[in-house]
Structure 1
């Protein structure tokens, strides 16, 4: 659980850095899957620093996924929005309202409940078809992202955000399904391909959502996509459980943490327009819709 929470700290801080860099990059093709947008964003040092923190976050997340149930790890990832909000306040001079400070407290309370009630990780590998289902979901997300870039306003932001969250969720489940790291086993395991493809797709969609869509809508979609689905897969197919007699508290903790994260959805991306062009790029070329 310590690794899961440390991962949330890394990803929450990285979100502030990457969002500023993504806003400073010029607009691209209009597609939700825009590789050139990422290449332009890589010219920003903040984006590179954010990528490094994302890498550290992923390493910590893998350790957590191999130790505790998926639902606890994903709730902690959603809780990273509380970290983003706290970091954004002094760095970008974004003022937190009273309700948002309360939401930060709610996230912390939910994660505390979850940490006290989390049980053993399930020992099941799930049905063989689950690995291929993850690949199918990944391709569906990739296709939806390509189409979403042409949708209007909030519909575009919601689909891009949900697609990114679903991609991150596929990564989490895929980690659990890689039980043999021998080269021959890795090549033959569909979960390896779903992990790589879903991770890359999620980053592309998230970068596009940050630049082109409503911050609140996109982040809310991402939180739902990365928490609910993987939690259900972990409990139903992978055997994740809570401590004996504490299932209700775990469910309450999960729901409270996710609800608090949704209340902080606007902090899925840094929201100070004046600071969005640190390297001289025009921030006004990609103003948030909310």
Structure 2
């Protein structure tokens, strides 16, 4: 759980840096999958620093997924929104309302309940069908991003956010399905395709449309689906008799994160012209 929370801190801090860099780049073509936009963002040192933190967060995420159920790690990663809110308040001078500070506390409370209720990771290794299905979902995420650019602003933001969330969710599940450097394992390619597509969609979501809507969709996409896969197919369980506490903690943590969804697009700090946006996942 310490690794999962450390991952959330890395992702949440990276979000503020990447948001400022992304918003400072020239807008792209309008497509949900816009590699050129990502390349322009990479020229900003803040985006590079954010990617460094993302890399550290990913390593911590892998360690956590090897010891904890997916539902616990997913909820902890959604808590990166709370980290983004606090960092934005410190670094960008963003004012948090009393309701938003309460949402930060709610997220922490939900994670505490999950920490008490979570058992060890499930012993399931997943079937070949699950591995190939995961690769299919990763491909669908990339396709969804491609067509999202043709949609009006609001549904486009939702599709991009959900797509990014599903892509990050694919990464979470794929980590559990990779037990060696086997190049014949479809989960390995699902991880690469899903993670890459998620970053492309997220970068586009940060640059245009309602990022608050996109962030809410991303939180739902990267938590609920992977949690169900972990419980149904990979054997994730709670400590005996604490199923109710795990369900409550998961719901509370995700609800608190959704309440902080505006920090997918933190308001501009007075006099700085910078804004912060979340990664999550």
TM-score normalised per structure 1: 0.92
2:272 alignment partner, SS class: helix
Q: Structure 2 regions of 5+ residues with no counterpart?
A: 276-281
Distance 1:138 1:110 in 2: 29
1:271 shift after superposition = 2.4
Judge conservation of contact 2:92–2:274 (CA < 8 Å) in 1: no
Q: For residue 188 of structure 1, give the secondary structure of its aligned residue in structure 2.
A: coil
Q: Does 1:33 align with 2:33?
A: yes
Say if 1:78 and 1:261, in contact at 8 Å, map to a contact too. Answer: yes
- Distance in 2 of aligned mates of 1:171 and 1:163: 13
Q: Does structure 2 conserve the Cα–Cα contact (< 8 Å) formed by 1:21 and 1:276?
A: no
Aligned equivalent of 1:275: 272
Segments of structure 1 that go 5 or more residues without pairing to the other structure are 279-290
| 2:204 is aligned with 1:221 | no
Instruction: Return the alpha-carbon distance in structure 2 between the equivalents of residues 189 and 276 of structure 1.
Output: 46
Q: How does 1:187-198 map to 2 (within 5 A)?
A: 187-198=183-194
Match of residue 285 from structure 1: none
1:151 Cα deviation from its structure 2 partner: 0.9
Match of 1:203 among 199, 205, 218: 199
> 2: CA distance between counterparts of 1:117 and 1:212?
39
1:22–1:207 Cα contact (<8 Å) kept: yes
Aligned ranges 1:135-214 → 2 under 5 Å: 135-181=135-181, 185=182, 187-214=183-210
Given that 2:268 and 2:274 are in contact with CA atoms closer than 8 Å, whether structure 1 keeps it comes out as no
Residue of structure 1 in register with 2:121 after alignment = 121
Is 2:232 the counterpart of 1:236? yes
Residue 42 of structure 1 corresponds to which residue in structure 2? Answer: 42
Bigger drift between 144-153 and 11-20 goes to 144-153
CA deviations 1:46-83 (Å, max 9, x no partner) are 10000000000000000000111000000000011000
Report the TM-score when normalising by structure 2: 0.95
- How far 1:275 moved relative to its partner? 3.5
